[in-house]
Amino acid sequence: MDKQQTQDQINALKKVLNQYNYEYHVLDQPSVPDAEYDQRMQELLKLEEEHPDLVTADSPSQRVGGPPLDAFQKVQHNIPMLSLGNAFNETDLRDFARRASQGIDGEISFVCELKIDGLAISLTYENGEFIRGATRGDGVTGEDITSNLKTIHSIPLTIEETETIEVRGEAFMPEKSFHALNKAKAANEEEPFANPRNAAAGSLRQLDPKIAAKRNLDMFSYGVGEWNAAEITSHSERLNKLKALGFKVNPEWRKCATIDEVIEFVDYWTNERPNLNYEIDGIVVKVDSLDQQDELGFTARSPRWAIAYKFPAEEAITKLTNIELSIGRTGVVTPTAVLDAVKIAGSTVQRASLHNEDLIREQDIRIGDTVVIKKAGDIIPKVVRVVENKRTGDEKEFFMPKNCPACGSELVRLEEEVALRCINPNCTAQLKEGLIHFVSRNAMNIDGIGEKVIIQLFQEELIHTMADLYRLDREELLKLDRMGEKSVANLLQAIEQSKQNSLEKLIFGLGIRFIGAKAAKTVAVHFETMEKLQQATYEALVEIDEIGEKMADSMVKYFSEQKVIDLLKELSELGVNMTYTGPKQSEGETDSIFTGKTVVLTGKMESFTRNEAKALIESLGGSVTGSVSKNTDILVAGEDAGSKYDKATELGITIWDEQQLKDMTED
Ligand code: IVH
């Protein structure tokens, strides 16, 4: 092959690799399998190795990271990279709109964009080639981080525009990359990054581009610095042009004709924010017309034509006044931080989960400490860290007790578990939690009895076991606080009705370890009566599809306990149905609660990503769709569920929370 042929081949490979890269990283629509990309890249690397003089700065091979630098060069921003003024509420946004319309003639329209929580960068292209990438620095002088930025696949190395153009945008670390990075750091016993922004900044500050290359960063472009494109008259046209040139523009921008529409956009994203797979810290509102932007101009620090609405803080500092213990229905003892009340993201927080003693030791959390609390769309707020310089010396170290705080029996740490457990089957705290589970919707579904009533009944010693629920009488109940004739009558009717439940609800309600709603249904269908299930051997149980060894083992142990035998006898004598009354199933056919059901997911969940929840439901025969309609069977609503929740309520659609989804899919 002569030099010209080699050159032609290299050019062809570069072209096709850049195209594949664009499809994968910018459009999110790969047209070829990864292996095809890898193979072409190997071919290019081989040719470039044989002909180093043919390696160019725009070669896709440069994305793996060039040689390490000694230091970053300084870069002057000819047009300063300014920051934005802030708005914290609706009034601030309306004031901004008023100021803007007073400053110009004619109607105003706005463009709203997500405010990506990363770091501002500038990309310069000359003759269609990416020649320099820089940080914002102090706005006037930044640092040249070109080699690091080349490793970001969504940044084009070449564009079809010969004029010099400076594109600005936000480099960031997607959540998935962030979690993977922190996991790897933890495995190496290194300090994790506190958040994706710090991780992105830390990665781009590395002198060795090979490190940045491994961090899977991304970038959204949202504006330009130097660029004279006379034909473009508005910011929205500019975003479209950037997209057409091959830059990744966040698709969630919207043109708004009024400030009311802007506020609607802000409200929408306040709710939907947890569902994104990258972090945003607000909404940027920009006047759309470029002429109007010019008219409005700048103050010393920021443009008058744009403002950044900031979401309420999700972290807060407060005092940890105590550590309390709670006992779950399986006996796990969990420490909980009691806090001086503090507002985070609009809600008051007084408690935070500490998970287990190992975590308390790792973070060296002491009673009396000043701590940082975070509530990032999570259901339960967490203690992020201790503010050590606030220590007075009076803080007390916390140790888990040796005995159960409810029943006094010795706590044990089961093999492979970090948690401590009370294994006393008569522990009152466990019984109480077990009863709360027993009456819950997916179990015996006893309407009108929730956690509060169970606690009351327990305190009044009206119930000790599940069977006691069926012995409650009207007179006793009427003596309870906030229990009138009507609520007592409703409650007794709900209890009575629950006696007719099909067997699977009772099995699930018993709270046997590892037996979720699905396994309960499987064994109910298989054995049809409680009696047969009680007599089932380990071998007979594991033979059933979908019943694993752990489940079979757990059931055999559970049903062999005298206490359980007595309880089931009592329940049966009290009239609780012990047979499966659902539809019969033919051999081999397994049905799930999701079979043929249409499910919509909304809000943020702790234990599943959207995709995991979707895959799970689909694997159980359900289909997952994006919007709520009258054809929706179930809405699963995580934390901060927004308009979909409202719509489902309006249409009377069954709504589950995350726990219910977990219960239904546990096995
Ligand atoms: S426009 C004149 N749009 O927020 C400044 N900024 O203070 C023009 N940011 O550091 C900035 N997402 O890095 C703009 N869609 C977006 C943004 C965005 C994030 C950052 C930017 C800057 C800060 C604003």
Q: Which atom of ligand 1 is nearest to the CA of 169?
A: 13
Q: What are the phi and psi torsion angles at 358 (to 5°)?
A: -60, -40
In a domain? residue 251: yes
- Least confident among 77-86, 343-352, 360-369, 499-508: 343-352
Q: Please indicate, yes or no, whether residues 306 and 323 belong to a single structural domain of this protein.
A: no
Q: Other CB atoms closer than 10 Å to residue 217's CB: what's the count?
A: 25
Q: Record the tokens describing residue 553, joined without a space.
A: 């083992």
In whole angstroms, how far apart are CA 537 and each of 388, 541, 557?
Answer: 56, 6, 10
Residue tagged 């390490």 (tokens): 68
Distance (Å) from CA 137 to ligand 1 centroid: 14
Q: Please indicate, yes or no, whether residues 295 and 386 belong to a single structural domain of this protein.
A: no
Active site residue 310: no
Residue tagged 């991304």 (tokens): 218
Q: What are the phi and psi torsion angles at 171 (to 5°)?
A: -90, 140
Q: Please indicate, yes or no, whether residues 452 and 500 belong to a single structural domain of this protein.
A: yes
In whole angstroms, how far apart are CA 154 and each of 119, 202, 237, 422?
Answer: 15, 19, 20, 52
CATH number at residue 207: 3.30.470.30
What pLDDT does 558 receive?
92
Short-list 221, 346, 194, CA closest to 273: 346
Q: Please indicate, yes or no, whether residues 522 and 393 belong to a single structural domain of this protein.
A: no
Distance (Å) from CA 219 to ligand 1 centroid: 12
Q: Please indicate, yes or no, whether residues 304 and 322 belong to a single structural domain of this protein.
A: no
Residue type, 331: G
In whole angstroms, how far apart are CA 148 and each of 118, 167, 437?
Answer: 15, 16, 53
What pLDDT does 316 receive?
87
Mutate to test the pocket of ligand 1, among 81, 84, 301 (most ligand atoms within 8 A of CB): 84
pLDDT digits (tens, 9 = 90+) for 626-665: 888 877 888 888 877 777 887 887 777 888 888 888 877 7
Q: Please indicate, yes or no, whether residues 373 and 517 belong to a single structural domain of this protein.
A: no
Q: Please indicate, yes or no, whether residues 218 and 143 belong to a single structural domain of this protein.
A: yes
| Residue where a domain stops, chosen among 412, 444, 468 | 412
Mean pLDDT of 336-358: 86
In a domain? residue 635: yes
In a domain? residue 581: no
In 398-486 the beta strands, taken as DSSP E runs, fall at 411-413, 420-422
What pLDDT does 667 receive?
56
Look at ligand 1, atom 21, and give the residue with the nearest C-alpha.
Answer: 120
> Which residue range(s) make up the domain with 475?
428-573
What is the C-alpha separation between 552 and 123, in angstroms, rounded? 60
Look at ligand 1, atom 9, and give the residue with the nearest C-alpha.
Answer: 115
Strand order in the sheet with 218-224: 129-135, 119-126, 165-172, 218-224
Mean pLDDT of 188-195: 80
3-class secondary-structure state, position 195: coil
Flag whether pLDDT at 587 surpasses 70.
Answer: no
| Residues within a 6 A CB radius of ligand 1 | 82-84, 113, 115-116, 120, 170, 222-223, 284, 303, 306, 308
CATH number at residue 17: 1.10.287.610
| Residue where a domain stops, chosen among 281, 310, 339 | 310
What is the C-alpha separation between 313 and 301, in angstroms, rounded? 23
Distance (Å) from CA 120 to ligand 1 centroid: 7
Q: Please indicate, yes or no, whether residues 331 and 436 belong to a single structural domain of this protein.
A: no
Beta strands 306-310 and 85-87 are parallel
What pLDDT does 544 receive?
92
Mutate to test the pocket of ligand 1, among 79, 96, 116, 136 (most ligand atoms within 8 A of CB): 116
In a domain? residue 79: no
Q: Record the tokens describing residue 114, joined without a space.
A: 């997500």
In a domain? residue 80: no
Interhelix angle 562-573/549-560, nearest 10 degrees? 70
Mutate to test the pocket of ligand 1, among 113, 123, 222, 226 (most ligand atoms within 8 A of CB): 222
Q: Please indicate, yes or no, whether residues 187 and 119 belong to a single structural domain of this protein.
A: yes
In a domain? residue 98: yes
Short-list 376, 149, 170, 384, CA closest to 276: 376
Distance (Å) from CA 235 to ligand 1 centroid: 14
How many structural domains comprise the chain? 5
Mean pLDDT of 350-354: 89
- Least confident among 19-28, 352-361, 498-507, 551-560: 352-361
Greater model confidence, 382 or 282:
282
What is the C-alpha separation between 278 and 199, in angstroms, rounded? 12
Distance (Å) from CA 79 to ligand 1 centroid: 15
Flag whether pLDDT at 309 surpasses 50.
Answer: yes
pLDDT digits (tens, 9 = 90+) for 243-275: 999 999 999 999 999 999 999 999 999 888 888
CATH number at residue 617: 3.40.50.10190
CA dihedral sign of residues 505, 507, 509, 514:
negative
Catalytic residue among 14, 115, 150, 241: 115
Distance (Å) from CA 560 to ligand 1 centroid: 64
In whole angstroms, how far apart are CA 198 and each of 118, 130, 338?
Answer: 8, 25, 29
Q: Please indicate, yes or no, whether residues 19 and 118 belong to a single structural domain of this protein.
A: no
Q: Please indicate, yes or no, whether residues 560 and 622 belong to a single structural domain of this protein.
A: no
- State the Cα torsion 346-351-352-356 to the nearest 10°: -170
In a domain? residue 580: no
The DSSP secondary structure of 377-423, one letter per residue, reads S-SS-EEEEE-GGG--S--EE----SB-TTT-PBEEE-TT-SSEEE-
Mean pLDDT of 465-481: 91
What pLDDT does 344 receive?
82
In whole angstroms, how far apart are CA 187 and each of 192, 197, 383?
Answer: 10, 21, 21
377: pLDDT confidence band, cut at 50, 70 and 90?
A: very low
**Strand (E) or helix (H) holding 217:** none
In a domain? residue 144: yes
CATH number at residue 391: 2.40.50.140
Flag whether pLDDT at 378 surpasses 60.
Answer: no
CATH number at residue 509: 1.10.150.20
Residue type, 365: I
pLDDT digits (tens, 9 = 90+) for 531-583: 999 999 999 999 998 899 999 999 999 999 998 999 999 999 999 999 999 87
| Residue where a domain stops, chosen among 548, 573, 598 | 573
Q: Which atom of ligand 1 is nearest to the CA of 303?
A: 2
Look at ligand 1, atom 13, and give the residue with the nearest C-alpha.
Answer: 120
Q: Please indicate, yes or no, whether residues 228 and 301 belong to a single structural domain of this protein.
A: yes
Q: Other CB atoms closer than 10 Å to residue 36's CB: what's the count?
A: 13
Beta strands 623-625 and 598-602 are parallel
In 487-638 the beta strands, taken as DSSP E runs, fall at 598-602, 623-625, 634-637
